[in-house]
Amino acid sequence: MDQALARERPKVIRSVQMPLGPSGLPPSTGVEALDRARRKAYRRLLPLVFISYVVAFVDRANVSIAKLTMTRDLPGFDNAVIGFGAGVFFLGYFLLEIPGTLIVERWSARKWIARIMITWGITAAATALVNTPFHFYLVRFLLGLAEAGFYPGVIVYLTHWFTGRDRARALAYFFVATPVAQIISPKISNALLRIGTDEVVGGRLVHHAERLGLDGWQWVYIAWGIPAVVLGIVVLFALTDRPAEARWLTAEERAALEAELAREKAERPAGHKMTLLEGLRHPKVLLLALVYFLVVTGSYGTEFFMPSILERWYALKFDTLTWLVILPPLLALAGQLFVGWSSDRTKERRLHTAVPIACGALGLLVVTQSRGGLPLTVLGFMIAYAGFKAYLPAFWSLPSIFLTSTAAAGSIGLINSVGNLGGFMGPYVLGKVEAMTGSFEGGLYFLVVCMAVSAAIVSRLRLGGGEALQSPRSVTAGSTEAARLAGR
């Protein structure tokens, strides 16, 4: 009887509780979900912000091509006027930079970036209507106001999506928009620039008729302003503010990505968690702003006047000129991708910032000694451009080493706004010196000094224990505490 009851008694199966990762998922599942979320974020977000920045940079810098005929068609426009107008953009940019960055952090990146793009597209196209230096200055100032917050806003936005191990590479993909813009825009702008001009073709003088009564330089501004408005509308509907709102991620992927971002933020030392005002007053923030000011002085001074320098020194035709100005951004593109990859691989930021800036100074020095030798001049500009662009992914990873959240967002806005005043200084000094002396060399020497000082400062900058970022632990580590922090 007892044996029969024993046979009938149901077997009890003991269950073993699987340990959960910080996302509330088993460790292996959490790792896989995080990796899927990372890949989806790259594919979904970066192409759109990349294309937007391409158009933004063209709208900001296309004056360097438009001026080649603009100064001939408009009385009173010389290099000093163009240099001041190119630079006054950054005065407007300065005023709204920090508020715009904080709006991205506290409100909505999607709505704010869409607003920026629509207003800057309209303002950029309105540059076609200027006919006096004052009108030019006013429109450039308004363009700066309209675009303020886009560049640092995207940098802050990417910190909402990408962890430390991915951030420099994500920033590199965003930043390569500037050399790509400089590669694709010259030939398009050159085709537009011919409208309303005379050209000798096969020994015969050919007139390219105006379109709608507008000259080529006017069409350069209009043709590049329209895409910004269209993209602004696309951003409003296609961009996602934070992982929690991403319907294109599964619930597991959202949880894993949010938990990893929260864990990384929580693991920073308590001293890193500063208020906005503390972050803005931080000595390292102020030094980074100075570094950025000096390097932007060199980069924008060169970018706005490189076509004019080549045309003046070598009497080049527009077709030849616009092919040559594509070469420096090509090397810059390769350098930027390499530095972003290398900086993430080694978890080192400071030297990955200082060395490219020093190369930029060296390249400009080569340019000052190369007049009369076109290949050497172009080589100098190529080295300079590579330096101007390659440092960016590592540089913009520096503030997040010692700041978090609102303090980081406000400080990035401060660094970018103060630094971008160099975008006024560089073109203004180079244009003014050329107008006073009839030569570009003196202004170029000034840019060399700015770049060299910038490299020296950042090479000696110490960021404490977080200077060389350690590879983040997997989402399985510290499950209980990380899960609690992720739920905050």
What pLDDT band is residue 383 in, cutting at 50, 70 and 90? Answer: very high
The span from the CA of 96 to the CA of 300, in Å, is 20
Q: What is the pLDDT of residues 56-108, one digit of tens each?
A: 888 877 888 888 888 888 888 888 888 888 888 888 878 776 777 777 777 88
Q: Return the structure tokens found at 119.
A: 């207003």
Q: What is the pLDDT of residues 320-349, one digit of tens each?
A: 888 999 999 999 888 888 988 888 788 888
Q: 29 and 94 in contact (C-beta within 8 Å)?
A: no
Q: What is the pTM of this model?
A: 0.69
**Res. 229: pLDDT tops 90:** yes
Q: Is residue 9 part of a domain?
A: no
Residue 452 has what pLDDT?
96
The span from the CA of 431 to the CA of 216, in Å, is 23
Tell me the average pLDDT across 308-319: 89
The span from the CA of 250 to the CA of 144, in Å, is 39
How many other CB atoms sit within 10 Å of the CB of residue 477? 14
**Res. 422: pLDDT tops 80:** yes
Q: 409 and 104 in contact (C-beta within 8 Å)?
A: yes
**Res. 6: pLDDT tops 60:** no
Residue 376 has what pLDDT?
97
CATH code, 181: 1.20.1250.20
What pLDDT band is residue 16 in, cutting at 50, 70 and 90? Answer: very low
Residue 403 has what pLDDT?
64
Q: How many domains does the chain have?
A: 1
The span from the CA of 313 to the CA of 326, in Å, is 18
Q: What is the pLDDT of residues 23-68, one digit of tens each?
A: 444 454 568 888 898 889 888 888 998 999 898 888 877 888 888 8
Q: Is residue 477 part of a domain?
A: no
For tokens 């088993």, name the residue: 26
Closest Cα to residue 389, out of 330, 435, 453?
330
Cross-strand partners of 256: none
- 405-420 CB burial, b ≥16 within 10 A, e <16: bbbbbbbbbbbbbbbb
Domain coverage including residue 216: 27-464
How would DSSP label each residue in 89-135? HHHHHHHHHHHHHHHHHHT-HHHHHHHHHHHHHHHHHHGGG--SHHH
Q: Is residue 179 part of a domain?
A: yes
What pLDDT band is residue 261 in, cutting at 50, 70 and 90? Answer: confident
Closest Cα to residue 104, out of 114, 94, 91, 95?
114
**Res. 471: pLDDT tops 70:** no
Residue 485 has what pLDDT?
26
Q: Is residue 363 part of a domain?
A: yes
Three-state DSSP state, 76: coil
First vs last C-alpha separation in the chain: 59
Could you give the percent of the chain with pLDDT greater than 90? Answer: 28
Q: Is residue 12 part of a domain?
A: no
Q: Is residue 6 part of a domain?
A: no
Dihedral angle sign, alpha carbons of residues 92, 95, 96, 101:
positive
| Average predicted confidence (pLDDT) for the chain | 80
Closest Cα to residue 473, out of 215, 267, 313, 304?
267
For tokens 């100074």, name the residue: 361
Three-state DSSP state, 239: coil
Cross-strand partners of 200: 205
More confident residue, 369 or 166: 369
Q: Is residue 487 part of a domain?
A: no
Q: 214 and 195 in contact (C-beta within 8 Å)?
A: yes
Amino acid at 172: A
**Res. 476: pLDDT tops 60:** no
Residue 244 has what pLDDT?
87
**Res. 1: pLDDT tops 50:** no
**Res. 128: pLDDT tops 70:** yes
Measured in residues, the chain has a length of 488
Q: Return the structure tokens found at 451.
A: 């770049």
What pLDDT band is residue 296 in, cutting at 50, 70 and 90? Answer: very high
Q: Is residue 482 part of a domain?
A: no
What pLDDT band is residue 275 in, cutting at 50, 70 and 90? Answer: low
**Res. 277: pLDDT tops 50:** yes
